[in-house]
Amino acid sequence: MTADHLHATHPEIAKRLRRAEGHLRSVIEMMDQGRSCLDLAQQLHAVEKAIGQAKKTLIQDHLDHCLDETVDQPAKERRRSIQEFKEIAKYL
C-alpha cells in the first residue's frame, strides 16, 4: 500500500474487519454445532452490518481525502480523479 492510499481511518477499519472476521468464524462454528437458523441469521446480519459500515467508512474517507486533493491538480489528473470517483461510487 502506498502512502497516498493510507488514510487515517484505515487502522480503525482494519480493526473492525478483524472483529467481523472473528465473528464470522464464530457463526461457522455455530452452524457446525447445529444452532438454530434464527440464531445464525441474526449473527450473519451483524457480520454483514459490520462489513457494510467498514466499506462505507472506507469509501467516505477516500472521497473526502482524494476529492479535496483533486481541486489543486492539473486537468488531466482531475479527469482521472473524477473517473475514480465514478468507479468507487458504484460500491456505495
pLDDT for 67-88, tens place per residue? 777 777 777 777 787 788 888 8
Q: Is the pLDDT of residue 6 over 50?
A: yes
Domains in the chain (CATH in brackets) are 3-89 (1.20.58.1000)
Position 1 scores a pLDDT of 46
Position 80 scores a pLDDT of 80
Per residue in 13-55, pLDDT tens? 999 999 999 999 999 999 999 999 999 999 999 999 999 999 9
CA angle 70, 92, 44 (to 5 degrees): 140
The distance of Cα 41 from the centroid of its chain, to the nearest Å, equals 21
